[in-house]
Amino acid sequence: MKLKSLLVGVGLLAGASFVQAEEPLKVGFVYVGPVGDLGWSYEHDMGRKGLEEYFGDKVKTTYVENVPEGADAERVITQLAKAGNDLIFTTSFGFMNPTVKVAKRFPKVKFEHATGYKLSKNLGTYVLRTYEGRYISGVTAGMMTKTNTIGYIGSFPIPEVIRDINAAYMGAKSVNPDVKMKIVWANTWYDPGKETDAANALMDQGVDVMLQHTDSPAPLIAAEKRGLRAIGQASDQSKFAPNAHIFSVRDNWTPYYIKQVQAVMDGTWKPKDFWGGFQDDMLTLASINPNLPKDVRAKIDATLASIKSGEFKPFTGPIKDNKGNIAVPANHSLTDKELAQVNWYVEGITDEIPH
């Protein structure tokens, strides 16, 4: 009996490895930044590595980094499609139109575009619910601030970033009615020098807890130098600022990449518009600093639990915009489609959105 099952097992293994060796699924990735940015592209590459670890010989991945958005992207995506990739992930908002074009020319190849909104027969999209992390960041910043002024370094005024600013402010306001938020737009996703300047400009103006939607850890280092606090973005940035670092909202793409590759292997892949957050483990709070006050830590854990269980959704009405109009009616939670179009600030943010 034992021997028989062993033999069957060996046979299965041999059979399986034969199939694997014959045809690995080829998966391509296109990154907008360097994989060493320790932020956005770095985490996508961690997702790619997670894929290789999970599937072993059954997948073969390639990536192209530092791809400028625009005509170059189209050339790179075309090359990946021509090279026989079965599934291609393009991971920046600006890759949207090039991906749509290439997808049309290669109907047999499957495409997935991160942070976009255009779907087709062989093109799906996927987005992170980063606003969930921002809400918790806001709650934390609102409790931690002594000057009642928190700061936010924005990258570009697109819906994703504006949505997250709103979430952060609503979070802060929910625990601290007097809190003010200063917003500075750096007009870049990645420029450590400029991010440092932005952080210093905010701290010069009384900000003592800082949030950012740019990708380098520079603002954390600036906060560390001045003995103030900051929250990390995209990847675990604790080692850059051991004292200043409160936690990092970490992007975790691995579960999604595994799920989609499995779907292609099973022949069940369909183009979808997928939004993943804490519930899907696609967001995590990394390296929560042990030096936080106990009540703050408890509030972080409670907020995280209520978002994770689906019991609490940050964009649930009634919410007014900062011009006094009802932006979200009572008892309504914004749908993903509505979330994708947020172009207003919530009540209490006195700035105007730059054009």
Q: Which residues bind other proteins (CB under 8 A)?
A: 33-38, 66, 151, 182-188, 190-198, 200-202, 204-205, 207, 216-218, 221-222, 239-241, 350-352, 354-355
CA angle, 116 then 285 then 279, to 5°: 60
DSSP state of 217: S
Q: Which is nearer to other proteins, 88 or 162 (CB)?
A: 162
Q: Which is nearer to other proteins, 76 or 334 (CB)?
A: 76
What is the greatest pairwise CA distance in the chain?
77
Q: How far is the CB of 169 from other proteins (least distance, A)?
A: 15
Cα–Cα distance for residue pair 102/51, rounded to 1 Å: 24
Q: How far is the CB of 200 from other proteins (least distance, A)?
A: 6
Backbone angles phi, psi at 26, to 5 degrees: -95, 125
Q: How far is the CB of 195 from other proteins (least distance, A)?
A: 8
Handedness of CA 271, 263, 47, 275 (dihedral sign): positive
Instruction: Count CB-CB contacts under 10 A for residue 175.
Output: 18
Q: Please spell the DSSP secondary structure of 325-350, one letter per residue.
A: -EEE-BT-B--HHHHTT--SPBTT--
Q: Which is nearer to other proteins, 227 or 329 (CB)?
A: 227
CA atoms within 13 A on the CB side of 141: 37
Q: How far is the CB of 201 from other proteins (least distance, A)?
A: 4
Q: How far is the CB of 248 from other proteins (least distance, A)?
A: 12
Which alpha helices (DSSP H) does the chain contain, by range?
2-22, 40-55, 71-82, 96-105, 130-144, 159-175, 192-204, 218-225, 254-266, 294-308, 336-339
Instruction: Count CB-CB contacts under 10 A for residue 34.
Output: 14
Cα–Cα distance for residue pair 162/352, rounded to 1 Å: 11
Q: Which is nearer to other proteins, 27 or 244 (CB)?
A: 244
Q: Which is nearer to other proteins, 27 or 207 (CB)?
A: 207
- Angle, in degrees to the nearest 10, between helices 254-266 and 40-55: 50
Q: How far is the CB of 191 from other proteins (least distance, A)?
A: 4
Q: How far is the CB of 234 from other proteins (least distance, A)?
A: 12
Q: Which is nearer to other proteins, 17 or 243 (CB)?
A: 243
Say whether the peptide bond before residue 255 is cis (omega within 30 degrees of 0): no
Q: How far is the CB of 283 from other proteins (least distance, A)?
A: 21
Asked whether 147 and 208 are in contact (CB, 8 A), the reply is yes
Q: Which is nearer to other proteins, 273 or 351 (CB)?
A: 351
Q: Which is nearer to other proteins, 291 or 333 (CB)?
A: 291
Q: How far is the CB of 69 from other proteins (least distance, A)?
A: 16
Asked whether 26 and 86 are in contact (CB, 8 A), the reply is yes
Q: Which is nearer to other proteins, 91 or 216 (CB)?
A: 216
